[in-house]
Amino acid sequence: MTSEAKFHPTAEQLGGFARGTLTAGMDVVISAHVELCADCRSRIGSLEAEAAAEMLQAVPETRPVNKDFSSMIDSIVNHAQTQADEQTSDPVTEIHMLEHSVRLPKVLAKVASEGLVWKKLAGGINQASVTLDDQTQCEFLYMKPGSQVPVHKHQGSEVTLVLDGSFSDESGHYKQSDFVVRTANDMHQPASEEGCLCFAVLDSPLTFTKGLARLLNPLIRYRFRRATAAASH
Amino acid sequence: MSSAVKSDTPAGAPRTSAAATAACNPDSDESLLVAVGNHQDRAAFNLLFTRFSNRIYAMGMKLTRNEQLSHDLVQEAMLTVWQKAPLYDLDRGTAQSWIFTLTRNRCFDILRKMKRQPATVSADDIWPQEGDGDSQLVHEEEGTMEVEVSKIESFYGGLPAAQRAVIEQIYIHDRTHEEAAAVLDIPLGTLKSRLRLGVGKLRQMVGTE
């Protein structure tokens, strides 16, 4: 399912991902992009090495931070070690949207595995919100073929990862694995000709989700199926 | 920092199972980690613990600004180092990088637990794990071609030397994983991931799997 992305996380976002200093919502959407994007995957190793040098730098012996942790050692070495053979591959997970199914990156499969509740928004958009932390709003968005998101403005920044299909806005055309970043000043109107499944992370809610459109939304549940790894062999 | 233990054997000397601990170079974190992973070497773990516990505590203070959480982080991160040492893989970078990623992940989980955030995702779901890239490779190309055994040999020549060496030890010399790791002087985790990669590629080339 690897494809060539044209739009990637910023250097700052990837660096924060490697250091572990972002919100869980942002970690999840970057992780999903990294699984789909060989370019970004190849950069993570050196970013982690940089982060390691920065975060695990030697502490001067004289600093008061030095503590005696030696009593921990005995309890640790009595634990059994993990053997490489014990690692099991994760189940392959698919999400079913109307007629077709989409294979999700592992971390999103995990996010979706507790079940998604889809709400119908205006303009042919379906939304399933998930809560990952207390600072971001995260959601799967499904745009039906021919749909258009009402014009909206962001209060904060928004990251959208394309999982299947494609969408366009004033600035470009986005396909599977593209990582689209919009900041507070951007006003845009995404539209999808062929239909599109995305995962979006907002650091504050879109204005239209608070408006009248929300009152019109009946709940829709889509089935979610988990295919086991065994089935693919 | 660690003049207490000196090695009699020069670094890089051929290593047999019996002499493995003696051959461990105490100045190299990687060498210590391999000794912990391949031989449950407690002396090597002690050295790693001495070198990293205060640094992990300092990292914990940077990320959590909480002494108790940072203390817990030292315990959990070093426990994970001990438990996962057999999975350490030279291809994944230095010991410091590897220990950092384990510490970052434990810190993420500790912070979420403390803030009572939803347990929907854990650090291990977010940051790619050892072996993930390999299984991806194997999944990608699935074919239904007939397998010709004679072809395997020609494909075998096309593998990277490191993977070929591992497959040779296991499938031609019929060695166990532990023996092959000792002969090639690489961590068990590295051997297993190279074996998985190499076999995956061979299967891909012949169109099975």
- Chain B stretch 153-182, residues whose beta carbon is closer than 8 A to a beta carbon of chain A: none
* Chain A touched by B136 (CB under 8 Å): yes
Domains annotated on chain A, with CATH:
1-233 (2.60.120.10)
Give whole-number Cα distances, B123 to A20, A207, B39, B46, B103, in Å.
9, 31, 28, 26, 10
CB-based burial of residue B87 (10 Å sphere; 0-12 exposed, 13-18 middle, 19+ buried)? buried
* B-chain residues near A114 (CB < 8 A): 120
Inter-chain CB proximity A76 and B78 less than 8 Å: yes
Looking at residue A142, its amino acid is: Y
* Chain A touched by B32 (CB under 8 Å): no
* B-chain residues near A52 (CB < 8 A): 94, 96-97, 99-101
What is the interface pTM, i.e. ipTM, of the complex? 0.78
Query: What's chain A's average pLDDT?
Result: 78
* A-chain residues near B104 (CB < 8 A): 19-20, 51, 55
Positions of chain A with pLDDT under 50: 1, 62, 64, 205-233
Domains annotated on chain B, with CATH:
20-126 (1.10.1740.10), 132-206 (1.10.10.10)
Give whole-number Cα distances, A199 to A164, A175, A202, A220, in Å.
10, 13, 10, 18
Q: Out of A73, A131, A133, name the one closest to residue B49 (CB).
A: A73
CB A7 within 8 A of CB A178: yes
Question: Closest Cα partner for A224 from A124, A121, A143, A128?
Answer: A128
Inter-chain CB proximity B75 and A72 less than 8 Å: yes
Q: How far apart are CA B65 and CA B172, in angstroms?
A: 54
DSSP chain B: --TT---SSPTT----TTTHHHH--TT-HHHHHHHHHHH--HHHHHHHHHHHHHHHHHHHHHHH--HHHHHHHHHHHHHHHHHHGGG--GGG--HHHHHHHHHHHHHHHHHHHHTT--TT--HHHHSPPTTHHHHHHHHH----PPP-HHHHHHHHTTS-HHHHHHHIIIIIS---HHHHHHHHT--HHHHHHHHHHHHHHHHHHHT--
How far B121 CA sits from the closest chain A CA (Å)?
7
Q: Out of B40, B118, B129, name the one closest to residue A81 (CB).
A: B40
Inter-chain CB proximity A20 and B130 less than 8 Å: no
- Chain A stretch 120-149, residues whose beta carbon is closer than 8 A to a beta carbon of chain B: 130-134
CB A202 within 8 A of CB A154: yes
What are the pLDDT digits (tens) for A96-149?
765 668 889 999 998 988 788 888 887 888 899 999 988 888 999 999 899 887
Positions of chain B with pLDDT under 70: 1-23, 129-151, 206-209
Neighbouring-strand partners of residue A143:
A125, A196
CB B189 within 8 A of CB B197: no
* Chain B touched by A74 (CB under 8 Å): no
pLDDT of residue B139: 36
pLDDT of residue A231: 29
Q: Out of B40, B105, B118, name the one closest to residue A131 (CB).
A: B118
How far B17 CA sits from the closest chain A CA (Å)?
18
pLDDT of residue A155: 66
